[in-house]
Amino acid sequence: MNPIAIIGGGGWGTALAITLARIERDVRLWVYEPYLVETMIATRENPLYLPSVRIPSAVRVSNRAEEVLAGVHIVILAVPSHVYRQVFSNMLPLLNGEMFFVSATKGIENETLMRMSEVVADVAKARFTPRIAAISGPTFAPEVARGEPTALVVASPDEQLRLFLQKELSVPRFRLYTNPDLIGVEISAAVKNIIAIAAGVVDGLGLGSNPIAALITRGLAEMTRLVVACGGRRETLSGLAGLGDLVLTSYGNLSRNRRLGVALGQGKDIEDVLSSTRMVAEGVKTAKSTVALARKLNVEMPIAEKMYAVLYEGLKPQDAISDLMERKLKEE
């Protein structure tokens, strides 16, 4: 089987490496921190991002990109969205047009409003035209790493590519469906994190189950409007990368975005919450790019707007909820 390179040693990248190594294939995992590489090799565990889950010996952990990328055909990119361009640019001299690129990152670049696959294409265009797909769906890294049943999608307009990746990346208890709508899958993956923060805020305020259900439903409507405005397909939102991921991230206790929202709803300062963990809550940075993109395309996204105001403009969470409930009455 073809060797696989996974770029990014956070929880998700490590979980993917563990999963794909279960069938004894050659998996290389690039980790940024040299000291963490040494620890992972010595203990076969990622104590910072995925503790208490053993990393199989089939996973080769390294900080040297040339070692990780040598001879591979599939490159999975699992670094946070705010360093995505920098990491890919640094590795570009080691990449080529024969490789298949898979984005496993959920976000929209703040500076350019590009989806992650667009960032790959933008960086690579001077040297080659990349074949790019994205994987997304309702996935918590610890559960995936433990081998609990997981279903997600691999998306690309290139049918041959998505069918190839479906076969190469599917392993027992890790099931991939194909989807041609790369735009819809990537936009959904990014925006659902903002809705999950809002759901956490409602929970943190102690407002009960009714408003959370309403918020998730209306959040899905916002996601749908933005996906369609960007050229994606409405039906994507009813699948794993849309509704599936939104429900998991909004309700699941392992959701970093939901936990952040809960803390904000309980009155904690956002800087204190963010500084207390190494984990990245992608919805914080994506709130900027999502709101900017929605304004650019004239798409109404009141929940995203209010979460942006809470995160960056000092709006109190309880006032954000009140503002949403007191908006002009309208048809669903």
The C-alpha angle with vertex 240 and arms to 235 and 243, in degrees rounded to 5, equals: 70
d(CA 293, CA 108) in angstroms, rounded, equals: 9
Cα separation, 144 vs 195, whole angstroms: 23
Q: Could you tell me the CA-to-CA distances from 184 to 79, 99, 157, 241, 291 in Å, in that order?
A: 20, 24, 11, 8, 17
Q: Which amino acid is at 196?
A: A
Distance, CA of 203 to CA of 257 (rounded, Å): 12
Cβ count within 10 A of residue 120 = 25
Tokens describing residue 308: 């942006």
As a whole number of angstroms, the distance between CA 133 and CA 117 comes to: 7
* Cα 119 to Cα 98: distance, rounded to the nearest angstrom: 18
Active site residue 192: yes
Count Cβ atoms below 10 Å from residue 42 Cβ, excluding itself: 8
- Sign (positive/negative) of CA torsion 46, 48, 50, 52? positive
Minimal CA–CA distance to 186: which of 122, 113, 131, 254?
A: 113
**What amino acid occupies position 145?**
A
Sign of CA dihedral 169, 172, 177, 182: negative
From 106, 125, 167, 192, active-site residue: 192
Residue 238 per-residue DSSP state: G
Is residue 39 helix, strand or coil?
helix
Q: Which residue in 304, 311, 313, 214 sits closest to 265, CA to CA?
A: 311
Could you give the residue numbers annotated as active site?
192
